[in-house]
Amino acid sequence: MKFQSLQDLKLVQKQIAAAQAKAVAEEAARAAAIRKAEADKNLFARAIGKVAPLPVHNKAHLPRTPREPVATQLQKDEAKVIQDSLSDEFDVSTLLDTDDALSFRRPSVGTEVTRKLRKGEWAIQREIDLHGLRSDEARLALTVFIREAHKHGIRCVRVVHGKGLGSPGKTPVLKSKVHSWLVQKNQVMAFVQAKPAEGGAGALVVLLTPS
């Protein structure tokens, strides 16, 4: 830059000095503002002392571990195996004793066992009622019931199958099928027709093997 006179030079020097002074003043003001804000913060902290967050009483504590996925296909496969394992074509008639009342016992089980079952010397611990179920539903329900009872150490159960009076032709279809299914279950030691007060011809008292 070329100056026309000494006065022009002095004017420019004054402008530069003024700009520098303004910048210094602005920086000083900014630093002072920061120091004041920090001092105010410290003053507030000293005034209220130490603080702790308030407890939250209505906070839901959700489990952190994810739920195990339900193997629905596996359950369907198991149900199919259960159904297929009990045949409706199994002839049980030759295995049943029909002297004074229907009964069944394994070859290794003595007649004393069925005698005690008839007299009610075994306490009935659980019961299943198959009334109103279709054949496939009853088969699956009975299988699961026997399996779970045996697993939990239950020894004596009652199975209510009905007398078949509501069936077409009043033929007790479900009754004969229940006999057949029970004979095919390894957990079943013996069964007898229930006493009249406990269902009579419409129910069985079943003795399970020890678990």
Phi–psi pair at 203, nearest 5 degrees: -155, 160
Same domain, 48 and 91: no
Both 184 and 98 in one domain: the answer is yes
pLDDT for position 183 = 93
Q: Do residues 119 and 33 both lie within one domain?
A: no
Q: Is residue 188 part of a domain?
A: yes
Q: Tell whether 137 and 183 lie within a shared domain.
A: yes
Over the stretch 99-111, which tens digit does the pLDDT of each residue have? 556 899 999 999 9
pLDDT score, position 81? 53
pLDDT, tens digit, for every residue of 30-81? Answer: 887 888 877 777 776 666 666 666 766 666 666 666 666 666 665 665 555 5
Residues 33 and 130 in one domain: no
Assess if residue 172 is contained within a domain: yes
Instruction: Tell me, yes or no, whether 60 lies in a domain.
Output: no
State yes or no: pLDDT of 123 exceeds 70: yes
Domain holding 93, by residue range, is: 87-208
| Any domain includes 77 | no
Answer yes or no: do 107 and 27 share one domain.
no
**pLDDT, position 58:** 66
Q: Is residue 2 part of a domain?
A: yes
Taking the C-alpha atoms of residue 92 and residue 64, their distance in angstroms, rounded to an integer, is 53
In a domain, 8, yes or no: yes
What is the rounded CA–CA span in Å between residue 50 and residue 41? 14
Give the CATH number, domain containing residue 186.
Answer: 3.30.1370.110
Q: 98 and 29: one domain?
A: no
The whole-model pTM stands at 0.56
Alpha-helical segments (H) within the chain: 6-48, 72-85, 111-119, 135-151, 173-184
pLDDT at position 82 = 54
**Residues 104 and 186 reside in one and the same domain:** yes
Sign of CA dihedral 138, 143, 144, 146: positive
Q: CA distances (Å), 20 to each of 7, 15, 23, 57, 81, in order?
A: 20, 9, 5, 59, 93
